[in-house]
């Protein structure tokens, strides 16, 4: 009896001493480390994982609450992506990064019904930027339509502000992803008076001779690219082969990693792309990553992706997820956040340059402020250019804003059509 | 000549060159099918595996580096500056021969006298295994492959053909990729070498005997197992050549295995048992798809070359199931 009493006292004392126990914060990672798109999937997944590891190791988690990363292999396959979602959502997953436009399209209705947020960062359905209709989908800091408009704005600045009579060709992956910018580019063509040629390339894009013979024959002033995987490498190689001026060849942010340019060697020199984050590893956060993650043997994957374009992109996605979780904790005054609270945190996300500097990421990415109505963020971008000799990218412009007049009208039109098709009553945002 | 006509010739010429690239992949399928009746689903992955190994040797990469690190904690990505190109090619060929030997020992030996569909299934398993093994050995990042194969548009050809255009026309010469020309020469040499090997060497005659009739070949003392090792080694060599050409074009990466999809219509058209068929089939498919993409594509929204190749192959299949040069299948009841 004495013993039982003692045990009860000890247990009570332990409980009081330990303070409240929090559940781990679950962040699923729908990654693809296998298959033809693995070279792009691996660096993103590593950057995403390493940032969370850093938060756990350096800070003891988000506000002291540990992060649990649940990785699920999709192989960049839509069916597998949906399976991954179904098998991980029950673990209390706070937000999904589908990392594929196809998977995103499938998850939009599912995640909305389940009350879980999706962050399709710079991909997926562009009109999901309209938060009044897509309550659970976020695509900050920018959309494909922003990207298309930023590129056209940049070209206009290169051409002295006048695009009348210019010829612009779009080489695109013949898929939902590749077709995303067409509508915007067509509207911008009407506004600026350039002629747009559309050149689709079928998956996987290993053979593009006919496309580049056509470009060689038509001689467009600029070629834009919405490619992915091997399509990017072949396109850059073919452009170099036909001696297309590489500084007039501009890709979207998914056609702009080291994987895309290195195989073409010297020929890729001068190739450009739009981006929304910094390049390389010359940022203070890398010192922390080295100390708490790499040197501690806790790096994700092979630990050889640090500083690459897609690693940095994975890292920035994780950074916004952590900041959104932090915001959710503040709003709801609890460290045990639910997926619904996480969504609220994402909707109130505000990461200005001053906060980026605190995080060891000064001038690393665009300042983001999300609102109930605007889930697409600021729609800002920069242009990066490849230096083949140094084998590295460099940022060559300041932040460029998208043409809001054109893009916002398209977002409104497309999202309202979606709402009508799906019987969604738009929310009221104050 | 009018620029439009010159563009047409340019398209045909580039189609022929692309066709040669497809033929390089198709040749590997034909060699194995001819000698063993196996449709080797793994041929595309063999090209990938060969190219990965070649880059690994060229760059001095330590195979299984990540696995070694994970198990033993030893960080060793490179063993040195790498090998000269010729040595690396020879080294890769040794690996491909070893692979052929292992495939015979571990897979084919146990499947003698099985239905062709069983052997086909085995090659599907082999394809996925090799893809995983390649990933484990050499990593899945995109690798640049440069063994000095010339590439890029030919200035000389542009200058020559510019003269062909009518005076005053804004024509800037015809485009041809030096890599494609090299591939055409390599393919020609390969076909001649394979023909000489099969016609004039003892081993070649044995291969032909096995191809004609397994049972008869066995009855005169030809070892089927040895023949299979040889044939898979030759297919490995052809895969290496295809891997070099395609890898130089797009970098060495896992999409390289998908080039097998480009070989299928070529095989349907040229026949599964004919080496010249693989070449002629490739040329027809190459020209057909390029002309279709450039002249029909703009009318129907583009991106038709992939499926157009299969349409051409299907039309041939309807009228000539054995392909242009394939052996006619006569079943006697």
pLDDT, residue A414, reads: 94
A244: confidence class by pLDDT, cuts 50, 70, 90: very high
pLDDT, residue A3, reads: 47
Which chain A residue has the Cα nearest residue B287? A210
pLDDT, residue A18, reads: 47
pLDDT, residue B27, reads: 92
B63 touching A, CB under 8 A?
Answer: no
- CA–CA separation, A142 and B232 (whole Å): 51
Under DSSP, is residue B13 helix (H, G, I), strand (E, B) or coil? helix
Ramachandran area for residue B39 (φ above 0: left; ψ -120 to 50: alpha; else beta): beta
ipTM of the complex: 0.89
Which residue in the set B140, B177, B305 is minimally distant from A42, CB to CB?
B140
pLDDT, residue A13, reads: 46
User: For residue B89, is pLDDT > 60?
Assistant: yes
Which H helix or E strand runs over A80? helix A78-88
pLDDT, residue B208, reads: 82
A2 touching B, CB under 8 A?
Answer: no
Contact B69, B136 (CB under 8 A): no
Q: Give the mean pLDDT of A358-385.
A: 96
pLDDT, one tens digit per residue, over B115-150 is 889 999 999 999 999 999 999 999 888 899 989 899
pLDDT, one tens digit per residue, over B164-202 is 988 878 888 999 999 999 999 999 999 899 888 888 999
Number of Cβ pairs < 8 A linking chain A and chain B: 118
Please name each of the domains of chain A with its CATH number.
22-142+280-378+410-421 (3.40.50.2300), 145-275 (3.40.50.2300)
pLDDT, residue B115, reads: 87
pLDDT, one tens digit per residue, over B227-268 is 989 999 999 999 999 999 999 988 999 888 888 888 999 999
pLDDT, one tens digit per residue, over B279-314 is 999 999 999 999 999 999 989 888 898 889 999 889
Q: Give the mean pLDDT of A301-315.
A: 93
pLDDT, one tens digit per residue, over A338-348 is 999 999 999 99
User: For residue A139, is pLDDT > 50?
Assistant: yes
CA neighbor of B280 nearest in space, from B270, B293, B288, B268: B270
Handedness of CA A54, A274, A248, B247 (dihedral sign): positive
User: For residue B30, is pLDDT > 50?
Assistant: yes
- CA–CA separation, A29 and B83 (whole Å): 39
User: For residue A15, is pLDDT > 70?
Assistant: no
A62: confidence class by pLDDT, cuts 50, 70, 90: very high
Token pair listed for A193: 């008076």
Which chain B residue has the Cα nearest residue A233? B250
Residue to mutate among B15, B72, B142, with most A CBs inside 10 A, is: B142
Q: Give the mean pLDDT of B49-74.
A: 91
Strand partners, B171: none
Which residue in the set A209, A217, A263 is minimally distant from B251, CB to CB?
A263
Instruction: Report the alpha-carbon angle B194-B197-B200, nearest 5.
Output: 140
Token pair listed for A219: 């001689």
- The pair phi, psi for residue B113, each rounded to 5°, is 70, 10
- CA–CA separation, A252 and A383 (whole Å): 10
């Amino acid at each position: 009896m004495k013993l039982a009493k003692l045990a009860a006292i000890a247990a009570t004392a332990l409980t009081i001493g330990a303070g409240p126990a929090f559940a781990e914060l679950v962040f699923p990672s729908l990654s693809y480390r296998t298959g033809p798109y693995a070279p792009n999937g691996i660096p993103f997944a590593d950057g995403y994982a390493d940032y969370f590891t850093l938060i756990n190791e350096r800070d003891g988690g988000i506000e002291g609450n540990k992060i649990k990363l649940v990785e699920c292999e999709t192989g960049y396959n839509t069916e597998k992506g949906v399976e991954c979602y179904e098998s991980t959502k029950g673990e209390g997953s706070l937000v999904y990064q589908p990392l594929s436009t196809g998977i995103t399209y499938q998850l939009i209705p599912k995640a909305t019904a389940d009350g879980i947020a999706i962050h399709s960062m710079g991909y997926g359905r562009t009109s999901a930027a309209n938060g009044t209709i897509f309550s659970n989908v976020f695509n900050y800091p920018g959309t494909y339509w922003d990207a298309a408009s930023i590129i056209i704005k940049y070209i206009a600045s290169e051409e002295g502000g006048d695009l009348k009579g210019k010829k612009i060709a779009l080489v695109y992956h013949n898929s939902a992803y590749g077709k995303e910018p067409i509508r915007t580019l067509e509207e911008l063509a009407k506004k600026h008076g350039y002629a747009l040629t559309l050149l689709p390339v079928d998956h996987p894009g290993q053979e593009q001779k006919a496309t580049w013979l056509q470009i060689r024959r038509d001689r467009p002033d600029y070629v834009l690219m919405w490619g992915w995987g091997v399509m990017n490498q072949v396109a850059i190689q073919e452009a170099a082969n036909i001696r297309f001026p590489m500084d007039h060849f501009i890709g979207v942010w998914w056609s702009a990693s080291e994987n895309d340019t290195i195989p073409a060697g010297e020929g890729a020199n001068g190739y450009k792309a739009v981006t929304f984050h910094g390049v390389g590893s010359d940022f203070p956060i890398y010192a922390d990553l080295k100390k708490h993650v790499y040197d501690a043997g806790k790096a994700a994957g092979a630990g050889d992706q640090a500083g690459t374009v897609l690693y940095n992109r994975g890292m920035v996605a994780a950074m916004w997820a952590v900041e959104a979780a932090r915001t959710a904790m503040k709003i709801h005054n609890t460290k045990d956040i639910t997926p619904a609270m996480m969504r609220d945190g994402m909707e109130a996300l505000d990461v200005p340059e001053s906060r980026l500097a605190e995080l060891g990421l000064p001038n690393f990415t665009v300042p983001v402020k999300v609102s109930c109505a605007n889930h697409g963020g600021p729609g800002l971008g920069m242009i990066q250019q490849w230096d083949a000799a140094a084998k590295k990218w460099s940022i060559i412009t300041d932040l460029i804003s998208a043409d809001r007049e054109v893009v916002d009208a398209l977002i409104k039109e497309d999202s309202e059509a979606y709402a009508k098709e799906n019987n969604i009553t738009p929310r009221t945002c104050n | 000549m009018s620029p439009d006509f010159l563009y047409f010739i340019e398209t045909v010429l580039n189609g022929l060159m692309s066709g040669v690239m497809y033929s390089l992949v198709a040749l590997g399928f034909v060699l194995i099918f001819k000698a063993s009746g196996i449709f080797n689903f793994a041929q595309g992955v063999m090209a990938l595996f060969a190219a990965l190994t070649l880059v690994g040797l060229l760059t001095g990469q330590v195979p299984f580096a990540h696995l070694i690190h994970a198990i033993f904690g030893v960080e060793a990505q490179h063993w040195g500056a790498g090998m000269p190109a010729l040595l690396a090619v020879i080294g890769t060929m040794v690996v491909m021969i070893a692979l052929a030997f292992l495939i015979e020992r571990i897979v084919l030996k146990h499947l003698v006298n099985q239905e062709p569909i069983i052997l086909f299934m085995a090659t599907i398993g082999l394809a996925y295994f090799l893809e995983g093994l390649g990933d484990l050995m050499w990593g899945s990042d995109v690798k640049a492959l440069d063994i000095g194969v010339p590439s890029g548009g030919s200035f000389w050809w542009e200058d020559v053909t510019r003269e062909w255009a009518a005076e005053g026309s804004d024509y800037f010469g015809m485009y041809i990729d030096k890599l494609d020309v090299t591939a055409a020469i390599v393919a020609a040499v390969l076909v001649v070498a394979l023909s000489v090997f099969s016609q004039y060497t003892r081993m070649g005659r044995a291969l032909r005997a096995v191809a004609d009739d397994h049972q008869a070949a066995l009855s005169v003392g030809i070892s089927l197992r040895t023949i299979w090792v040889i044939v898979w080694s030759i297919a490995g060599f052809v895969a290496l050549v295809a891997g070099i050409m395609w890898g130089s074009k797009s970098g060495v990466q896992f999409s390289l295995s998908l080039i097998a999809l480009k070989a299928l219509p070529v095989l349907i058209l040229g026949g599964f048992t004919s080496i010249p068929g693989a070449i002629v089939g490739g040329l027809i498919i190459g020209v057909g798809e390029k002309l279709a993409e450039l002249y029909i594509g703009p009318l129907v929204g583009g991106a038709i070359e992939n499926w157009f190749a299969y349409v051409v192959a299907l039309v041939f299949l309807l009228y000539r199931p054995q392909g242009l040069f394939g052996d006619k299948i006569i079943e006697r009841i």
